[in-house]
Amino acid sequence: MEQDRIFVKPIFTREEIKKRVAELGAIISKDYRDKHLFLIGILKGAYPFFADLSRAISLPLQVDFLMVSGHKVVSELTQNIAGCDILVVEDIVDSGMTWDALKKGLQKSAIKSLKLCALLDKPYRRKMSVEIDYTGFSTPNKYVVGYGLDYKGKYRNLPYIAVLDQISTEEEDLLYSA
């Protein structure tokens, strides 16, 4: 049964994530000190990372969210971002197609700058080249869950990141194409 799926050991523990998020927050706070930082969180996967990272940044930033499904942006921002320094917060960059779509959409607004912060970088299956400005961790070429990342809508609330055990290659291909 799906509920009985066993996880291998976490590849990134909650302590490791906490430490890395604090480091990223400090770097971003320094880089954006004199800027108009506006964080855009990509739902649903980035929600825990976004909440933790935004609180690790010691600047008076603004926030908004975009919903992405199947590499397409399916919602709109609620605020005007013209003139702002946009930092997009993503869960994981895999093929790069989501970032490509986001970049094209956001560049239509008269923004001052656009950068990407991704919790995880999985560079093995890139279809478009992506320059990630701030990366949490590099992941192995495996399907990972937890801390926002899902398997069929579940496991987002795990406080650590783990590789799914007992997953067939066929099943993994299906997950990626979903």
Which residues of the shown chain bind ligand IMP in the complex (CB under 6 A)? 45, 71, 90-98, 122, 143-145, 149
Rule CB under 5 A: which of 19-48 touch Mg ion? Answer: 45
Q: Which does 27 bind (CB under 5 to 8 A by kind): Mg ion, ligand IMP, none?
A: none
Closest CA to 59 of 91, 25, 86: 25
Q: Alpha helices, DSSP H only, in 32-85?
A: 47-56
Q: How far is the CB of 89 from ligand IMP (least distance, A)?
A: 11
Binding-residue total with Mg ion (CB under 5 A)? 1
User: Closer CB to ligand IMP, residue 85 or residue 91?
Assistant: 91
Active site residue 150: no
Chain CA centroid to CA 122, Å: 11
Question: Residue 168, SS3?
Answer: coil
The phi and psi torsions of 110 (rounded to 5 degrees) equal -80, 65
Closest CA to 12 of 23, 21, 2: 21
Q: How far is the CB of 178 from ligand IMP (least distance, A)?
A: 9
Cite the active site residues.
94
Binding site for Mg ion (CB under 5 A): 45
